[in-house]
Structures are given as C-alpha cells and as structure tokens.
Chain A
Amino acid sequence: MVVASPLAAYLLVAALLFAIGLAGALTRRNAILVLIGIELMLNAANLNFIAFWRYGPHPEALTGMMFAIFSIAVAAAEAAVGLGLVISIYRHARTTDLDQMNRMKG
C-alpha cells in the first residue's frame, strides 16, 4: 500500500481499528464484548487526535494532545460505569446476552 503521507497511514490504521471495534460491537452477543468494541473505537479516535496533533500546523498548542488525554480520562469513567451497569444487569437477569435484554422497548 502506497500512502502519500505518514498522517494518512495513521488515519487508515485508526479507521481500520474503528471498523473492527464497530464490527465487534454490532455482532457480539455478550454485553462485555460490546463494551470492548466500543473501547477499541474510542482508542481509534484517540489515535486520530494524536496523529493530527503530531502532523498538524501548531503542535505547541497541545490541542489534540489535551483532547486525547481528556478522552482517556472520560473513557476510564465510561468503562467503570458501563461495566458496573453490566454487573448490575447480570445480577438482575442472570445473563449478559444482549438479545435477551430488550425490556426497555417501546
């Protein structure tokens, strides 16, 4: 594969990782694995931020870097709450199968 610039290479890697994560989130039945997919998607986005920061015109402003760092922190919170919810639902329904978790339908 011939790429025009290192940035494009990183962006393609991030896009691929995002697609992998999305595929996992859409196809797995286990709620925890769906969460894993979502984490992969988030990380792909972080990779984009860092790459844009590195090759962007004003790296000394640290904008993309800061965005990634805050994103990591928020992702940690999201992971804690998400997994806590999964455990709570599991206690309630004795399952982590998303196909059976459809009680909130309209």
Chain B
Amino acid sequence: MIEQAAPFTPQITASPIAGILWLIPAVPMVAAGVIALLKQPRRAPAAALAIGSLAFSLLVSLVAFGHVVAGWANHVAVRETVNFTWIQFGNTPVDLGWVLDPLSAVMMVMVSFVGLLIFIYSVGYMAHDENFTRFFCFLALFAGAMLGVVIANSLLLLFMCWELVGLTSYLLIGFWYQKPSAAAAAKKAFVTTRVGDIFFLLGIVWLFNDTGTLLFYNHGLGSMEGFALAGLLAHHAAFGLTAAGAIGLLIFAGAAGKSGQFPLHVWLPDAMEGPTPVSALIHAATMVAAGVYLVARVYPLMSAGMPLIKTGEVTGTTAALTVVTWIGAATAVFAALIAIAQNDIKRILAYSTVSQLGYMMAGLGLGGVAVGMFHLITHAFFKALLFMGAGSVIHGCHEEQDIRHMGGLKADMPLTFATYAIGMLALCGFPLFSGFWSKDGILEAAHSGAIQGPYYLLVFGALLTAFYMTRQVSYVFFGYWRGHHPAHESPRVMTVPLAILAFFAIALGAIGTPAWPWFRAFLEGHAAPFSWQGFAEPGLGLLMVTSSLVVFLGIGLGIWLYGNKSPKAEDPDVLEKASPWLWAGLRDRLYVDEFYGMTVIAFYYWWARVADWFDRRIWGGIVALITWLFGLWAHLNRLIDVYFVNGGFDKTCEEISTSGGLLARAQNGRVQIYLRILAVGVVVLAAILFWSSRP
C-alpha cells in the first residue's frame, strides 16, 4: 500500500533543544508549587501562572516538534536522548533520561496544546468556585506530570510521572470532596488504577532483572533496542510467550488500568464526578491516552519476535499483541453498548472514551504505533471538544447533567451546538472528519489482519458509536426544552477554545489520509509522497464505503428512534419498550460493578474480617501479654526506685545542702575581707615557696 522507502539515517546525538526538554514538565510543576503557596483568593495570578507555564511548555514543545519535523524533512530519523545516572546500587546504575523522537514530539505538542485550551476554558468554567487556586494548582501539576510521562526515556521515570498523574487524577476527581460520590469516585479511580500499576511495576522489575537497564533508548544499549530484545526473546515464559511478550503484557496491564480497558474500566465513568474541564483534560484527552502512549513506547518489546515489520506494513503478530488487540476490540464494543443506555451527558462521553481507547489499543495491536497514535491524537482533540461542549451545556443548563431534562438547545446555544456537532461527527467517523481517517486506519489494519474477529467487533462498535452519539445529540440539542430555567450560551472564554478544537477536529485528518500518510511516515521515519494512488489500494475503497455506510446507518437509526421526539424524563426509553430486560442490563453497566462487588470486594471484606479476627484474638493476646510483662517489670523498678535510689539521693542532697550552708557563711560580701584573705594567701604561698626552695 505504501511503496518501499529507504529508512532514514538515524540521529542520536542530543541537540540543544533536546537538552532543555526537561523544562517542559518542570515549568508547570514549579508553577503548581508556586500556586500552592498563593493565598486562596488570589485567582488571577494562579490562573495566569498555570496558563503561562503551560504556554511556555507548548512553545518549547513546538520548537522541539519543529526540530524533529525539520530532521524528518532532511531524511533524518531524530531520536535524541539525554540520560544520566540517578542512583547507583553497587555496580548497577539506575539511569533516568528523556527522549526526543517523533512519538514524544507529537504527544507533547498534543498534551500541551489541548491542555492549554482546557486551562483557558477552566477560567470560565470554574469562575464561581471558591477553590479556584487549588484547582489550577492541581491542573498545572497534572500537566507537568503528564508531560513528564511523555518525554521520559526511562521506564522508571515514566513510572514516577505516571504515579504522579494518578495522584493528580485522584485529587481532581475528588475536587468537590464534599460530595460523597466524588470522594468515592476518586478512591475508586485510585484503587482501580493501582491494580494495573502493580502489574506494571512487576513488569519493570522483570525488565530490569533481565536487561539491567530501564532506559528505552541508549545508543543501542537501551531496553527497547536490538541487543536487549534479543536477550529477552531467548527466554520463554509460560503459555508460549517470550519474556519480552510477558513483560509487555504486564506493562499493558498498567496501561489498561490507566486507559480504562476492560476489565479495569470501571473507574473511568465514575470519574465524571470531577469538574468538567478535568473530565476533558484527564479522562478524555491526555491521561487515559497515557496508557496508549505507554503501549506505543514499549511497542518494540511487544512486537519483538514478529516475523518482520516492513516499513509501514505489518506482516505478522505476536501473542502479546494479539492479547492487546482482543482486549481493545472487546472494550470498544462493550463500552459502546453501555453508552447507549446512559442518561448522564458526561457518562455517555465517558463510556465513549473507554470505547475509543479500545479502538486505539486494537489499532496498536493490529497496525502498529502509527495507527493507534493517530487515533489517539485525533481523539484527544474531538473528545476534549465534546467534553468541553458538554461542560458548556451543563454550565448553560444550570448544572443539569441528565439529557432527558434538556432539549432544543440548538437555538439557545448556537455556538456550542455547532462545535458539539462537529465533535460528534468526528467521533462517529463521519466521512472527511478527522475521526473518519483515524478510525479507518484501524479498521483497515484489522481487515488485513490474520483473524477477522476484531474487525467485525470494531465495525459493530463503529455502528454503536454513531447510534449513541446521535441519541445524545437528539436529546440535548433537538426537540423542545424540558428543563426548568431557560438555558443560556456560555461566555467567550469557554466558546473560543471550543471553536479552536472544532477546527482541529475537522482538519487534523488531513495529515493521515491514505493519499498523504504524513503522520505514519513521520512516526516511522520515511518519506511521505503525496499521491492520489493511496486511495487505489486494493480493498481500501470497499472498506471506506463500508465504514461510511455503517456510520450513516448508525446515525440514521438514531434519528429514526430519537430525532425530534423530545421524550419526557418519566417515559421509558424507546429501546426500553422494545426490550426492557436488555435495556436494564445496559443501563446498569452490564453489572460489572456488581460483579466486582460480589467477588473482589466481598473477598476483600471477608479477608478484612479474617485479619480483624487475627488482630483481636492472636496478635492482641500477644500484645496484651507483653504489656502485662512490662507492667510487672515497671512495678519492680518502682520498688527499687522508692526504697534504694530515692533514699540515697535524698541523703546526698541533704549533705550537699548542709555543706553549702557552711560555705555560704564565708561569703559575707565584704570585699576588703576577701582582699585581706588574698593577701594572707600571697604571704603564705611566698613563704612556702622560699622555704621549700632553700638549698
């Protein structure tokens, strides 16, 4: 499909811009620290600091990105690393470092750009919140940590920033901690992602044990480079996996936790309890993408042992990638199904995010880094757009989140409606929107794969996506107003970022069309000639028609069932009337939470009771015995003290007091008496001296 191009000459020496790459995460983190020291009512400086620091990061990112693009234009594959030893265990150094390559360059521009827009948007959205500065402190810290994940060249540094991201996610979901549901959601997010992170950590330890380094790239000695990979391939773990594949899967478990892949997706919908900009920033655009990014980073590990990867074309797969593919595809359909039956505007988008993350994972598993990453980038833009649009709707409807209490907003909020519609079409994969091209890439990769199962799942998922988005838009923007107070359009500070994001939601597809696959060429390091021939690939035309038809079908179905109907909140849903049993299942999120409640959490409670019993009966008894023994010992000590030590001490004190009284009489305060004694002393001393020195 793409003509064979000679690989670019690699460039690995660090340029000046790579040297200052650390500023990108450091500046927002420092800004967060400064904001944390500000007094609570200092709103303007806090917002200015956060936005300014991220704008700086964006600037540096753009310069770095430009550097990589310039290298690409000169047929140089830029992969510049700056490594340093953090600590040394005996003879084993633990190195940290950062890397500037196309992957990190693309990602850092996306994160800082989307982040900046969301920061600006937050100024409007959080204007009335009393904890405004705390919010910006957390946002800036999050941005710094996320950018740290992006530039990390060491799995350890990545893990540190990863956990920092998890922490800020926890803080931001629970931002309104007065709400019990928000506090619970924050806890749930933290604990669930921790489950994945344990596997991630195990993977790190295993990798370090086998290769002795955690650097990704280190001039041929990194863990993602040929030498280490060959060593890993030699080991065979269980189930036909190589050590490389097994480590890759452990790391993938961490990524699944962060990216909300089945079965660790349960926290992501609940995370919508946080403020909407947080949902947009963390739980749609950037943090959940961190998991996908991580898999893309360790892709060499997972694909190690694949028969051959020719430029741009995947000719085989590995066991690890197959697992990733299936989990991704299953998540895509599973979450899309649940999204159909949700009524909370943000929850629908949350499940949609889970579903799209599944697409990305499947894309990584099937088509390689470029396919998954392209969908990540486009999705970041249009999903941030959708979330911020949803935030605008919620803001305009006086904090109403139930779509059944909205309706007809296209007249009241025209700007929000227009941008939201663009985001929705991009998400559905409507032809010529960015989502169309990125999703098509995934479908194409799935279609050319060895097994067709994921392909059908993903196509079905695309149909569901179009359907539930149409349902949501119909509820919210069409029909008539069913709320209590009339809605109003949001302020300019919120709508302008929407418009910018909408532009990218349409235009960003241009860098990844089959005619000009610049994005893939950029990531994989080969030239990208423009030619209409790209569309003439065998099967591609049919595929595009199929996916377009699926989208039209989904949208049509949605309009047929929901368009302009304005159902009342009390009325059962159209689908509920058709199949109440299925609807209930979907509405209750297919009982995954309940399943966890009955298994994992029930076991946990049981185990807690066992531990409690042990504590009380066994350990408590031992502790009580020790306490009693100590009490006995203390009693003995007291007796000795009272009768021996105290008595002796009192006697000594008396003696000192008596002799002190005697000496005090000599101190009569008459200086002449003192002088007199001094003189007598001189006489006596001189007499002694002379008498004794006589020959």
Q: Which residue of B lies closest to A37 (CB)?
A: B675
* CB <8 Å contact, B676 and A105: no
List the A side residues contacting B668 at CB < 8 Å. 102, 105-106
Asked if A68 lies at the interface with its beta carbon under 8 angstroms from chain B, I say no
* Cβ contacts A64-106/B at 8 Å (1 or 0 each): 0000000000000000000000000000000000110111111
Interface SS of chain B: helix, strand, loop or mixed? helix
In the complex, the chain B residue whose C-beta lies closest to that of A23 is B679
A9 within 8 A of B: no
* Complex contact B669–A22 (CB within 8 A): no
From B32-40, B290-298, B583-591, B659-667, give the one contacting chain A. Answer: B659-667
Query: In the bound complex, do residue B672 and residue A104 qualify as a contact, i.e. CB atoms below 8 Å apart?
Result: no
Instruction: Judge whether A34 and B672 touch: CB under 8 Å.
Output: yes
Select which of B663, B665, B671, B679 is within 8 A of A98 by beta carbon.
Answer: B671
Considering the complex, which residues of chain A in the window 19-59 have a beta carbon less than 8 Å from any beta carbon of chain B?
22, 25-26, 34
| B310 interfacial by beta-carbon distance below 8 Å | no
Q: Is the pair B676, A26 in contact by a Cβ cutoff of 8 Å?
A: yes
Contact of B670 with A by CB under 8 A? yes
Contact at B667–A105, with CB atoms within 8 Å? Answer: yes
The residue in chain B whose Cβ has the minimal distance to the Cβ of A103 is B669
B672 touches A26 (CB 8 A): yes
CA of A102 to CA of B673, assembled, Å: 11
Residue contact B669 to A102, C-beta cutoff 8 Å = yes
B664 and A99 form a contact (CB under 8 A): no
Residue of B nearest to A99 (CB): B670
| A25 partner residues in chain B, CB cutoff 8 A | 672, 675
Asked if A102 meets B672 with Cβ closer than 8 Å, knowing A22-B679, A26-B679, the reply is: no
Q: Which residues of B contact A26 (CB under 8 A)?
A: 672, 675-676, 679
Binary A-proximity of B77-92 (CB < 8 A = 1, otherwise 0): 0000000000000000
Residues of B within 8 A of A106 (CB): 663-669
Contact of A104 among B665, B669, B676 (CB under 8 A): B669
- In Å, the complex CA distance between A25 and B675 comes to 8
CA distance A25 to B670 in the complex (A): 13
Q: Which residue of B lies closest to A25 (CB)?
A: B675
Best-buried of B672, B675, B676 by chain A (most CB within 10 Å): B672
Which residue of chain A lies nearest to B664 when distances are taken between CB atoms in the complex? A106
Nearest-neighbor residue (CB-CB) of A31 within chain B: B671
Enumerate chain B residues within 8 angstroms of A99, measured Cβ to Cβ.
670
Task: Give chain A nearest CB distance to B113 CB in angstroms.
Answer: 77
CB <8 Å contact, B667 and A98 = no
Expressed in whole angstroms, the minimum distance between the Cβ of A89 and any Cβ of chain B is: 11
Closest to A19 in B: B679
B692 CB → nearest A CB, Å: 21
In Å, the complex CA distance between A34 and B669 comes to 16
Complex CA gap A34/B676 in Å reads 12
A104 to B665, CA, bound (A): 12
Q: A106-B663, A106-B664 are in contact. Are A101 and B676 (CB under 8 A)?
A: no
* Nearest-Cβ distance from residue B687 to partner chain A, whole angstroms: 15
A102 in contact with B670 given A22-B679, A26-B675 (CB within 8 Å): yes
Taken residue by residue from 644 to 668, chain B's Cβ proximity to chain A (1 for < 8 Å, 0 otherwise) reads as: 0000000000000000000111111
**A103 cross-chain contacts in B, Cβ below 8 A:** 669
CA A99 – CA B672 in complex, angstroms? 9
Instruction: Give the chain B neighbours of A34 by CB distance below 8 A.
Output: 671-672
Q: How far is the CB of B596 from chain A (nearest CB, A)?
A: 83
Q: How far is the CA of A25 from the CA of B668 in the complex (A)?
A: 18
Chain B residues near A101 (CB, 8 Å)?
A: 669, 671
Bound complex: CA A101 to CA B673 (Å) = 12
Across the interface, name the chain B residue whose C-beta is closest to A38: B675
A105 neighbours in B (Cβ, 8 Å) = 667-670
Which residue of A is nearest B661, CB measured?
A106
**Neighbouring A residues of B675 by C-beta, 8 Å:** 25-26
Residues of A within 8 A of B669 (CB): 101-106
CB distance from B44 to the nearest CB of A (A): 62
Q: With the chains together, A105 CA to B666 CA distance in Å?
A: 8
In the bound assembly, the distance between CA atoms of A104 and B674 in angstroms comes to 12
Q: Closest approach, in angstroms, between the C-beta of A21 and any C-beta of chain B?
A: 11
A98 touches B666 (CB 8 A): no
A65 to chain B, nearest CB (A): 26
Q: How far is the CA of A28 from the CA of B449 in the complex (A)?
A: 121
Bound: A97/B664 CA distance, A = 23
Q: Give the distance in Å from the alpha carbon of A99 to the alpha carbon of B671 in the complex.
A: 9
Does B670 lie within 8 Å of A98, measured CB to CB? yes
A residues in contact with B679, CB < 8 Å: 22, 26
For B663, list chain A residues within 8 Å (CB): 106
Known: A22-B679, A26-B679. A98 touches B664 (CB 8 A): no
Q: For B670, what are the chain A residues with a Cβ–Cβ distance below 8 Å? A: 98-99, 102, 105
A59 CB, min distance to chain B CBs, angstroms: 27
In the docked arrangement, what's the CA distance between A104 and B664, Å? 11
For the complex, what is the distance from the CA of A98 to the CA of B672, rounded to whole Å? 8
Tell me the bound Cα distance from A103 to B675 in angstroms. 17
Q: How far is the CB of B427 from chain A (nearest CB, A)?
A: 92
Give the distance in Å from the alpha carbon of A22 to the alpha carbon of B666 in the complex.
Answer: 22
Give Cα distance in the complex from A99 to B670, angstroms: 7
Q: From residue A14, how far is it (CB to closest CB) to chain B in Å?
A: 15
Complex interface: chain A residues within 8 A of B664 (CB): 106
Cα–Cα, bound, A18→B180 (Å): 94
Q: Which residue of B lies closest to A105 (CB)?
A: B669
**What's the nearest-Cβ distance from chain A to residue B324, in Å?**
90
Residues 524-545 of chain B: 1 if any A CB is under 8 Å from the residue's CB, otherwise 0?
A: 0000000000000000000000
* Complex: A104 Cα to B673 Cα, angstroms: 13
Q: Chain B's nearest CB lies how many Å from the CB of A66?
A: 25
A35 nearest CB across to chain B (Å)? 11
A86 vs B239: C-alpha distance when bound (angstroms)? 102
Min CB–CB distance B657 → chain A (angstroms): 13
- Give residues of chain B (289-332) contacting chain A, Cβ–Cβ below 8 Å: none
How many Å lie between the Cα of A101 and that of B669 in the bound state? 7
| Complexed CA–CA distance, A7 and B164 (Å) | 90
Question: Once the chains are docked, how many angstroms separate the CA of A22 from the CA of B606?
Answer: 97
Which residue of chain B is the closest to A27 with respect to CB atoms?
B672
A98 to B51, CA, bound (A): 80
Interface bits B100-135 vs A (CB < 8 Å: 1, else 0): 000000000000000000000000000000000000
CA distance A43 to B20 in the complex (A): 77
Ranked 5 nearest A-B pairs via Cβ: A106-B667, A105-B669, A102-B669, A106-B664, A105-B668
Provide 26 A-B residue pairs closer than 8 Å at the C-beta atoms, listed in order of the A residue: A22-B679, A25-B672, A25-B675, A26-B672, A26-B675, A26-B676, A26-B679, A34-B671, A34-B672, A98-B670, A98-B671, A98-B672, A99-B670, A101-B669, A102-B668, A102-B669, A102-B670, A104-B667, A104-B669, A105-B668, A105-B669, A105-B670, A106-B664, A106-B666, A106-B667, A106-B668
The chain B residues found within 8 Å of chain A, CB to CB, are 663-672, 675-676, 679
Knowing that A26-B672, A99-B670 touch, tell me 13 more A-B residue pairs with CB under 8 angstroms.
Answer: A25-B672, A26-B676, A34-B671, A98-B670, A98-B672, A101-B671, A102-B668, A102-B670, A103-B669, A104-B667, A105-B667, A106-B664, A106-B668
